[in-house]
Chains A and B, each alone.
Chain A
Amino acid sequence: EVQLVESGGGLVQPGRSLRLSCAASGFTFLDYGMHWVRQAPGKGLEWVSGISWNSDSIEYADSVKGRFTISRDNARNSLYLQMNSLRAEDTALYYCAKGNSYSMSSFCDYWGQGTLVTVSS
């Protein structure tokens, strides 16, 4: 059974940093691209970032480019999102999602339950 478990969310002040983690199990992690998708309270879905199976291809939404860094550790079956210079508009539920191919150009076929990030003073 595919499982994705996010952690690392919480309340943080504007301008500070946070690192999200996603522990994957139930599939061969290194065979698939991975994504972070967020959802602000009561709003729709926003794709944040994606990474290919071998980390060769990485992309970001314009709204987080230069502030967020996605990475993965295939030996640890883990995905990460380093979030710097956080803003109030980054407040959202952050989902880790498995891609349905090795590429970053993939759809999200399994999702975690999300971890909530609240940016507020």
Chain B
Amino acid sequence: EIVLTQSPATLSLSPGERVTLSCRASQSVSSFLAWYQQKPGQPPRLLMYDASNRATGIPARFSGSGSGTDFTLTISSLEPEDFAVYYCQHRYNRPNTFGQGTKLGIK
């Protein structure tokens, strides 16, 4: 099973700041990695797929990069609605494991 490790576990930032979240895989997943955003009481929302493709309706301030074992999700300028938990997931093989999540809070 491929283990995805996200860092940091938590962070606190202010609106307008730039943030980069990390996801590291225990073995290569090629570019088969996605990012999701989850707010309290809501299901997850797909942000990025296959490392760098924005999902439908996702604002351009979200971008993804990486391949192999190291991936990042960048939010160029935080909006109030971006404070949430972010998960990465791979689809390289089964099981399609998720990372443990990064909680992004307001400072």
Give chain A's interface residues, CB within 8 Å of chain B. Answer: 35, 37, 44-47, 50, 59-62, 95, 100, 104-114
Does B46 reach chain A (CB closer than 8 Å)? yes
Does B98 reach chain A (CB closer than 8 Å)? yes
Does B74 reach chain A (CB closer than 8 Å)? no
Among residues of A, the one whose C-beta sits closest to the C-beta of B100 is A44
Beta-carbon contacts under 8 Å, B32-70 to A: 32, 34, 36, 38, 43-46, 49, 55-56
Report B-chain residues with C-beta under 8 Å of the C-beta of A108: 36, 44, 46, 89
Most B Cβ at <10 Å: residue of A44, A45, A106, A111: A45
Q: Label chain B's interface by main secondary structure.
A: loop
Give chain B's interface residues, CB within 8 Å of chain A. Answer: 1, 32, 34, 36, 38, 43-46, 49, 55-56, 87, 89, 91, 94-101
- The number of residue pairs between A and B whose CB atoms lie closer than 8 Å in the complex comes to 58
In the complex the two chains form, what is the Cα distance from A37 to B38 in whole Å? 13
- Assess A112 versus B87: contact at CB under 8 Å? Given A47-B95, A100-B49: no
Is B46 within 8 A of A47, CB to CB? no
Report A-chain residues with C-beta under 8 Å of the C-beta of B1: 62
Report B-chain residues with C-beta under 8 Å of the C-beta of A113: 43
Among residues of B, the one whose C-beta sits closest to the C-beta of A65 is B95
Report B-chain residues with C-beta under 8 Å of the C-beta of A37: 44
Among residues of B, the one whose C-beta sits closest to the C-beta of A49 is B95
Given A107-B91, A109-B56; 18 other pairs, CB 8 A cutoff: A45-B87, A45-B98, A47-B98, A50-B94, A50-B96, A59-B94, A95-B43, A104-B94, A106-B91, A107-B46, A107-B49, A107-B89, A108-B36, A108-B89, A109-B46, A109-B55, A111-B45, A113-B43
Among residues of B, the one whose C-beta sits closest to the C-beta of A106 is B91
In the complex the two chains form, what is the Cα distance from A33 to B101 in whole Å? 24
Among residues of B, the one whose C-beta sits closest to the C-beta of A100 is B49
- Assess A47 versus B97: contact at CB under 8 Å? Given A95-B43, A114-B43: yes
